[in-house]
Structure 1
């Protein structure tokens, strides 16, 4: 038997010479492959479509799982990081983190837990630092206010910038000394606590007058009060400001009474001249004045009369056109000899006041 095959693109042929046919016949079998090819093609398409559909479902399922398990937590963590940064930058209360509502036991859960723990520690540290800074600022303000109660503001600022000796000369300043009369007798009638309380009330009222007139209180010594005009910031009307305060002090002291209901009174002395003002020492320092003009102002007070305001001739020259002054005459002043002094009575009435009186 002889068999041969021949195939082409579209068909498949088989030729067979059977011995039983004694070589008289040749059997040829032809098979057309077109139909099989189409079926194979359709089968491949169905398999590919099925694979594609399965792939799509797998991808979608994977994306859903990843979105829920990975992507959403990461996006929430990103939002939490932004919120944490704003909270720290603006010093706000801790925000509510989305990540905190997710309980995870994997690597991402460890990252979220570490982030929340780190933020809590940072926020706590910042809060404690802010509280410490606030407390320090309050104490600094108290210290500065205390310093301003001791020194003029300009001198306090200068002392903070350049610690050490501060001394300035002022060519023109007006100094006032005031003394409460019969203070010794008053002290024997009331207790020390009541005495100090009364002095505090009197001197506090004088402090308010000094602030109102733009003057600088220098110090109190026992029952004596010292104030100056024209420093540390120079002003041309320093004598007038001191004169106005002296007149107001006379009216203010009448508000206070002794234990026996007698009205208190004061003796005031004023002088104008050059002084040196500054701060000396390392401890318990204060702003003080030095110079002959200060000594003369003190003598004007001690050589004056109860209820009167005695001024020197230098002060008189600055006040004579705006105030009513009476010449006292020649006074023997300790350490200075003879001096001509004046009594300050009042401010001269204005033109309108004069017309009203007439």
Structure 2
């Protein structure tokens, strides 16, 4: 037999070598099939399970990795886009509010009268006497104060004779006001803004004593750097801070090269109703070369521009907004995120985060990225990167073209960053700004790197564990698994009456018995689970809004929202405690439940959202989860309806209850509090103030804040009900009397 087999094998090999290629291929396949035929079913099962597990793990892991990475990148870009849009809205809103305020001031009689008074007083100073001592005071102030400040910030020498006042009126005003300021910059500003009268007996000083407080309020309340009145000839006849541009001429004076020149000309020649010009930032010499923009509006007399009111807009207002008041981490910008404004000259219009946090680190980074060292030195000397630091990138170029989008590119620090960019559109202005929200890719993709490592380790671990389990389980389940599979198929088809014979008493037998039991109880358990889920969902929705309930069910532990334009009511039913004391517990509870049921029904009808009911107190809101334009009116209507409900309750039961409510409107926060017991609650200054005015009002009635009163004063009658202290300031309280 051995000799024959060897001979046959040798013959087969010889035939294989001499056969054509196609024949040899068929012979190879035949040999592989013969080889597999000698492999046991157990080994085939193990091999199949291992291969399937490996392929499935790799495919699923790859899909999960791609999906997870894409989701994380989209989340980062979405966050940057949200920040960019939020900052853009806040910036345009801030400028719009300031424009509207300036329109109101220039249309008022005070500004017009002030311009006439200061112009007349300025003209009277043309022949005013100036002593040699006053002249020397002016020279000393420029030489020892103003010129040194400008040279310190600009880094260039300044010819003091070129900026010294020349006209008699200018020299007189600066001798009596500007030159008297202390040389310390901050002290000098405060001295000049507080000075109402130099007591020189001039008509100009009389006008200043009359109108200085008006313009001081504008400057200080809106944080402007200065307020100028410029007459129809271009003379700066008034300055709130009495700076070195007081008395100069914006058309041909020493500072005629500033953007104020063109802004003044446009305002004087504008025929547009409610015109307000807004210039780009520039290095303004009278402001010691600090970046300055101008808001300019004409002051009309008999339908023609008699002059302008120019408000000096400092870069600090822009920086506070764009840098989140230096609270980048608190607003979710991490360690490298920031938002920056850029101009058409590809220079910054706000300060760099790195500069504000570490100027020397800023200098090192920008110089390494290609910025000239003298530019970095100038930024440090200026105390900011505005109008100094270039920010050339594809993002800023695209934004200047009017495009909006996201991109991964290098920033001015030479770092690879994710950038969300957009143009900034300011109505009725010649500004061409762009905004960029950015974060370093190293920080933005840190989660992606960690996610990649985790996916690789988890996938490898799963493959290894499943291979071991496949070897073990294949040996155990190779025979009875088919019967269990058949039973599972019947159950999956909806046939729960499955009974598989139990042939063994080992683990497989127990599994088979448990399988049979599972089939019998599956229907009952499914019904119970569905019922329990329904009850749980109803309970959650009774305790909190649907959106919070869904997130809470997903396992989120910290859930909080900030809501704009929400009206809050805190109401007490006075007399409930006496009623509870007089009646038996079950009787008083029945009456109170009926009263609360009627109030809840009224709340639902008027679109109110009940937050909680505590003893005799009732907290509700309108516009919290469902935004409503008329949330103030609905809330007051709800309070009136509650009064009627209490009145009807008194008539029906013979009791003497009354309602006392406090209402405020504004921004509130809401979320889930507590662990493990969760309570949905609402908080914020609006909630506190509503509760405060409710508790602080001794008589029944509906009490509202000025915000509610201002909205409804045309449709409802209110009467003053005193004041309450809010952060140390007295705020008026109003009591609703009736509808108009």
Q: Contact 1:271–1:293 (CA<8 Å) still a contact in 2? A: yes
The within-5 A match list for 1:152-191 is 152-191=545-584
CA pair 207-129 structure 1, distance change in 2 beyond 3 A: same
Confirm or deny that 1:209 pairs with 2:590: no
Instruction: For residue 202 of structure 1, give the secondary structure of its aligned residue in structure 2.
Output: helix
CA pair 259-184 structure 1, distance change in 2 beyond 3 A: farther
Confirm or deny that 1:247 pairs with 2:640: yes
Instruction: For residue 266 of structure 1, give the secondary structure of its aligned residue in structure 2.
Output: strand
Q: Contact 1:299–1:333 (CA<8 Å) still a contact in 2? A: no
Alpha-carbon distance, 1:296 to partner: 0.7
Confirm or deny that 1:311 pairs with 2:699: no
User: Comparing both structures, which one devotes a greater share of its residues to strand?
Assistant: 1
CA pair 90-240 structure 1, distance change in 2 beyond 3 A: farther
Alpha-carbon distance, 1:128 to partner: 3.3
Alpha-carbon distance, 1:194 to partner: 2.2
Deviations 1:40-98 (A, max 9, x none): xxxxxxxxxxxxxxxxxxxxxxxxxxxxxxxxxxxxxxxxxxxxxxx97885999xxxx
Q: Contact 1:181–1:266 (CA<8 Å) still a contact in 2? A: yes
Confirm or deny that 1:293 pairs with 2:686: yes
Measure, in 1, the Cα distance between the counterparts of 2:690 and 2:735: 14
Task: Name which of 670, 677, 680 aligns with 1:284.
Answer: 677
Alpha-carbon distance, 1:311 to partner: 0.8
Alpha-carbon distance, 1:167 to partner: 0.9
Alpha-carbon distance, 1:205 to partner: 1.6
Measure, in 2, the Cα distance between the counterparts of 1:92 and 1:264: 63
Instruction: For residue 188 of structure 1, give the secondary structure of its aligned residue in structure 2.
Output: helix
Confirm or deny that 1:134 pairs with 2:527: yes
Q: Contact 2:724–2:733 (CA<8 Å) still a contact in 1? A: no
Alpha-carbon distance, 1:306 to partner: 4.3
Alpha-carbon distance, 1:241 to partner: 1.7
Alpha-carbon distance, 1:273 to partner: 1.7
TM-score normalised by the chain length of structure 2: 0.30
Aligned twin of 2:624: 231
Q: Contact 1:173–1:229 (CA<8 Å) still a contact in 2? A: yes
TM-score normalised by the chain length of structure 1: 0.58
Confirm or deny that 1:194 pairs with 2:587: yes
Can you give the 5+ residue segments of structure 1 that lack an aligned partner in the other structure?
1-86, 95-121, 349-358
User: Comparing both structures, which one devotes a greater share of its residues to helix?
Assistant: 2
Alpha-carbon distance, 1:124 to partner: 8.9
CA pair 336-205 structure 1, distance change in 2 beyond 3 A: farther
Confirm or deny that 1:328 pairs with 2:724: no
Highest RCO, 1 vs 2 (Cα 8 Å, sep ≥ 6) = 1
Aligned twin of 1:356: none
Alpha-carbon distance, 1:220 to partner: 1.5
Alpha-carbon distance, 1:135 to partner: 1.3
Can you give the 5+ residue segments of structure 2 that lack an aligned partner in the other structure?
1-489, 498-514
Instruction: For residue 256 of structure 1, give the secondary structure of its aligned residue in structure 2.
Output: helix
Q: Contact 2:541–2:549 (CA<8 Å) still a contact in 1? A: yes
Instruction: For residue 284 of structure 1, give the secondary structure of its aligned residue in structure 2.
Output: coil
CA pair 347-128 structure 1, distance change in 2 beyond 3 A: farther
CA pair 190-126 structure 1, distance change in 2 beyond 3 A: same
